[in-house]
Structure 1
Amino acid sequence: MSDSNKEKFNDLVYKIMSLLIDACPVHRSIGPADFGYPEGETDPESCYYIPAADEAFLYECIRWLKDEELIRGEHEYVATIYGLEMFNGLPECLKTN
């Protein structure tokens, strides 16, 4: 991962987790507009949706967070207890002494 890709990944993962922790326990949709990214377009010939580069990167970050079990969901997402712990978002009532 290049330094710029590493920085972009780090920044975007932090932003995604912040959105979900702030919304927890409510599931929340996440899309390019949440981060000021342009959306892709539907190809008129094939009718396939072609995501913009930043949008594609966003969805790869979401997939990675899901694979690592920091978040769960399909079209709307919520932070898991593991995700809350990793990002210091665990409510006091769930912390063990």
Structure 2
Amino acid sequence: MQPEVKKLDQYYLEWEGKLYINGLFNGRHQFVFTKIDANTTQFIQAEDFNGLLVPILNYFIIQPTQLNFERMNESFKQYLEDHPFNKDIFRIS
């Protein structure tokens, strides 16, 4: 798979990849940051797989990938909670 960035802006990142040819095994991944209030941001990470090989690769690729994303989300959350937000370095409008 050679992923291709489809959209990138301040609050959204999306990329897609395919295995050899379109329709065999495709994946679309997203990171979405939504400002809730001055101190809260919602983070959503999503992955969609489709194609003929999805049933076969579900156990070997998709399930482990989902577990790794969940671990990444927890680590990311913990990191942000342990490192106070410095408004002089980062700005969310």
* TM-score normalized by the length of structure 1: 0.33
Which structure dedicates a bigger proportion of its chain to helix?
Answer: 1
Q: Which has the higher contact order (CA 8 A, sep 6+)?
A: 1
Higher strand share: 2
TM-score, L = length of structure 2:
0.34
